[in-house]
C-alpha cells in the first residue's frame, strides 16, 4: 500500500518538479556573485535534465502516460499535468539541448579577468534560460487549454528578451517584431480556447477530445488556434520575424531559440490535429498544413542560399526545416499502418533538427568569435582556426541534408516511405528537393571554410571546450541515424485510442 502511495507521489513530484525545478536557478542569480550563480544555474539545469530522464524512464517502464491533477482538483475546476510518450520525448530533448546551451554559455574557467568580462553572459541570460526551460516543460505537460495559454505567454516573455540581450538597434527591432507576432499568435490561441469553452464547458484536452465534433464553432476554434501557432512557429508566410530575431541573438540564445523554443507551437499543433480534432476534419485540413510546409521548405532554402551572413543562413534554414514537420500531417492523420512510420519520422526529424541546429548556431558563434565577423565570403580558411566547430557544423549540416548516417537521413527515409506508400508523390518530391537545397547551403559554407586562406587569418582564440559542446550536440543528431527504421512504440505511449491499432 505504502509502495503504491510512494510511487504515485513520485510521479506527481516528477511532473510538478519538471515545471518548477528550473526556476530554482533564479534566487542564486539574484543573490550570489555572478560566477557562483552561473555554476549553480548549470547545476540546476543538470538536475532538471535528470528529472526529465526519470520522467521518461517512468513513462517507458509503466507503458502508460503519467498524469496528475494539481492539488487533487479535477477538471473543470482543477488542471491536470500529463506526460505521454511524445511529451516525455520532447522533455528529454529540451533538457539535453538547454543543458548543453548552459555549458556552452558558461564562462571559461581560469581565463584572464579581462577576457572573462568580455565573454560572460549577463545574469539576465541565465534567468531567461531557466524561464524558457520551465515554460517549455509546462507546454509539454499541461493538459488544460488555459494553462497552455499561460505557458505560451511565459515562453514568449522569456524568449523575446533573449533576442535583444546586447541591446543594439537591430536586435531591439527584431525583438519587438517577434513579440508582436508572438502576441498575435497567443491571443488567437486564446480566442480558440474561449470558443471551445463556450461549446463544451471544459478546457481539459481529453474531455474536449471526447466531446468534439466537426461543428462550425469547433472548426473556427481550431482554425484560430492553428493560425496562432503557425505565427509562433514561423511557418511560411508568417516566418518574417524569425531570421532577424534568431540571427541577431547571442549564439547561445540563438541555439536555444532555433532548436527548442520554436518546437513548442509545433508540439501543440500536433496535439490539436492528432489528439483534439476528429479524424475526418484532420484529414481534410492536413494538406493545407503540408502545402504551407512545402512552401516553407522551398522558399526558406532558396533564400538561405542567397544570405551573405552565416547566422542569417542558419536562421533561414530553420524557417525551411520547420516545413518538414508540417509535411508529416497528411501522412500521419490518415488511418493506415504507414501513418505510424510517418509520425515517428516527423518526431525524429524534430529532434535531430533540434540537436543539429543548436550545434550549428554554436559553431557559427565560435567561427564569428574567432574571426570577428560572420560574413560567409570571409570564412575562407576558418577550419584551421576552429576545426572542431567546423566538424560540428558539418555534421549538423549532414543531418539537415538527410545524408546517411545522420538522424535527418533516417527521419527522411521514414517520411519518404510513408509518402510513397500513401501515394503522396508531391510530398516525396518536396522532401528530396529540400535535401538538395540544404546540401547547397551547407556545402557552400563547409567548402569555403576548408579552403586555404588567401592571406594569413587574424584569429582570436576561442575556448576549445565550447567547440566540444557543439560537437557533442552534432554527434547526438548523427546518433539518431542509428535508431531502428520502424515506428517507435515509446512515442505512442498514452496517445489517443484511435492510434492504438496502428502500432506494432
Partner 1 sequence: MSTPTVMGLLGAALSAIGIYGLMVGRDALARLLAFNLLGGGVFLVFGVVARRGAGAGFGADPVPQALVITGIVVAFSATALAVALLRRLAELREKARAPRPAPEGEA
What are the residues binding partner 1 (CB under 8 A)?
A: 76-77, 146, 149-150, 153, 156-157, 160-161, 164, 167-169, 172-173, 175-177, 179-180, 183-184, 186-188, 190-191, 194-195, 197-202
* C-beta closer to partner 1: residue 50 or 176: 176
Residue among 7 and 215 whose Cβ is closer to partner 1? 215
Residue in the structure block whose three cell numbers are 568569435: 369
d(CA 195, CA 221): 6
Q: How far is the CB of 221 from partner 1 (least distance, A)?
A: 11
Note the helical H segments in 63-122. Answer: 85-105, 113-119
**Sign of dihedral through CA atoms 468, 55, 265, 160?**
negative
In degrees, to the nearest 5, what angle opens at C-alpha 175 toward C-alphas 259 and 376? 60
Q: Nearest approach, Cβ of 38 to partner 1 (angstroms)?
A: 25
Nearer to partner 1, 97 or 151 (CB): 151
- Residue number, 156 or 247, with CB nearest to partner 1: 156
Q: Which contiguous run of DSSP H or E holds residue 81?
A: strand 80-83
How many whole angstroms separate alpha carbon 323 and alpha carbon 501? 28
C-alpha cell at 223: 482554425
Q: How far is the CB of 492 from partner 1 (least distance, A)?
A: 32
Q: How far is the CB of 211 from partner 1 (least distance, A)?
A: 12
Pairwise CA distance, residues 75 & 93, whole Å: 29
Q: Which residue, 186 or 399, is less far from partner 1 as judged by CB?
A: 186
Cβ 266 to partner 1 shortest distance, Å: 22
Give Cα 73 to chain centroid, integer Å.
31
Q: How many whole angstroms separate alpha carbon 53 and alpha carbon 46?
A: 11
CB of 289 to partner 1, least distance (A): 20
Q: What is the 3-state secondary structure (H, E, C) of 373-437?
A: CCEHHHCCCHHHHCHHHHHHHHHHHHHHHCCCCCHHHHHHHHHHHHHHHCCCHHHHHHHHHHHHH
State in angstroms the smallest separation of the CB of 152 from partner 1: 10
Instruction: Say how far apart CA 230 and CA 224 lie, in whole Å.
Output: 10
Which of residues 184 and 468 has its CB atom nearest to partner 1 in the complex? 184
| CA geometry: angle 350, 155, 140, nearest 5 deg | 50
The smaller minimum CB distance to partner 1, of residues 187 and 420, is found at: 187
Our CB check for partner 1 shows the closer of 201 and 280 to be 201
Neighbours of 479 (CB within 10 A): 15
Grid coordinates in use for 255?
541555439
CB of 200 to partner 1, least distance (A): 8
Amino acid at each position: 500500500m505504502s509502495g503504491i502511495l510512494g510511487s504515485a507521489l513520485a510521479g506527481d513530484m516528477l511532473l510538478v518538479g519538471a515545471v518548477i525545478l528550473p526556476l530554482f536557478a533564479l534566487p542564486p542569480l539574484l543573490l550570489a556573485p555572478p560566477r557562483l550563480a552561473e555554476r549553480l544555474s548549470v547545476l540546476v539545469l543538470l538536475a532538471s535534465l535528470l528529472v526529465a530522464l526519470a520522467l521518461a524512464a517512468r513513462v517507458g517502464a509503466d507503458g502508460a502516460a503519467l498524469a496528475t491533477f494539481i492539488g487533487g482538483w479535477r477538471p473543470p475546476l482543477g488542471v491536470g499535468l500529463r506526460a505521454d510518450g511524445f511529451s516525455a520525448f520532447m522533455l528529454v530533448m529540451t533538457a539535453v539541448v538547454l543543458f548543453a546551451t548552459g555549458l556552452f554559455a558558461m564562462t571559461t574557467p581560469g581565463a584572464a579577468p579581462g577576457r572573462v568580462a568580455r565573454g560572460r553572459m549577463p545574469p539576465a541570460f541565465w534567468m531567461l534560460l531557466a524561464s524558457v526551460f520551465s515554460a517549455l516543460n509546462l507546454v509539454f505537460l499541461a493538459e488544460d487549454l488555459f494553462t497552455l495559454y499561460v505557458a505560451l505567454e511565459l515562453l514568449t516573455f522569456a524568449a523575446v528578451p533573449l533576442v535583444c540581450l546586447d541591446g543594439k538597434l537591430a536586435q531591439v527591432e527584431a525583438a519587438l517584431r517577434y513579440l508582436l507576432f508572438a502576441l498575435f499568435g497567443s491571443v488567437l490561441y486564446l480566442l480558440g480556447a474561449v470558443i471551445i469553452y463556450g461549446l463544451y464547458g471544459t478546457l481539459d484536452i481529453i474531455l474536449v477530445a471526447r466531446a468534439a465534433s466537426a461543428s462550425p464553432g469547433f472548426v473556427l476554434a481550431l482554425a484560430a488556434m492553428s493560425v496562432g501557432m503557425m505565427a509562433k512557429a514561423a511557418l511560411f508566410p508568417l516566418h518574417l520575424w524569425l531570421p532577424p530575431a534568431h540571427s541577431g541573438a547571442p549564439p547561445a540564445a540563438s541555439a536555444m531559440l532555433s532548436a527548442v523554443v520554436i518546437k513548442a507551437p509545433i508540439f501543440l499543433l500536433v496535439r490539436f490535429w492528432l489528439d483534439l480534432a476528429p479524424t475526418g476534419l484532420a484529414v481534410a485540413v492536413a494538406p493545407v498544413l503540408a502545402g504551407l510546409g512545402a512552401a516553407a521548405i522551398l522558399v526558406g532554402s532558396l533564400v538561405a542560399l542567397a544570405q551573405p551572413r552565416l547566422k542569417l543562413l542558419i536562421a533561414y534554414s530553420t524557417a525551411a526545416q520547420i516545413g518538414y514537420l508540417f509535411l508529416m500531417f497528411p501522412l500521419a492523420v490518415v488511418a493506415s499502418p504507414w501513418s505510424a512510420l510517418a509520425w515517428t519520422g516527423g518526431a525524429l526529424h524534430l529532434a535531430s533538427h533540434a540537436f543539429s541546429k543548436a550545434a550549428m548556431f554554436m559553431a557559427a558563434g565560435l567561427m564569428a568569435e574567432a574571426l570577428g565577423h560572420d560574413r560567409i565570403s570571409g570564412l575562407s580558411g576558418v577550419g584551421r582556426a576552429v576545426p572542431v566547430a567546423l566538424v560540428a557544423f558539418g555534421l549538423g549540416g549532414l543531418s539537415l541534408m538527410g545524408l546517411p548516417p545522420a538522424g535527418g537521413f533516417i527521419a527522411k527515409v521514414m517520411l519518404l516511405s510513408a509518402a510513397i506508400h500513401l501515394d503522396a508523390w508531391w510530398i516525396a518530391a518536396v522532401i528530396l528537393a529540400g535535401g538538395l537545397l540544404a546540401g547547397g547551403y551547407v556545402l557552400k559554407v563547409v567548402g569555403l571554410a576548408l579552403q586555404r586562406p588567401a592571406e594569413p587569418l587574424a584569429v582570436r582564440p576561442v575556448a576549445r571546450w565550447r567547440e566540444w559542446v557543439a560537437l557533442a550536440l552534432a554527434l547526438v543528431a548523427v546518433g539518431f541515424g542509428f535508431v531502428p527504421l520502424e515506428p517507435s512504440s515509446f512515442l505512442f505511449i498514452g496517445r489517443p485510442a484511435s492510434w492504438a491499432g496502428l502500432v506494432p
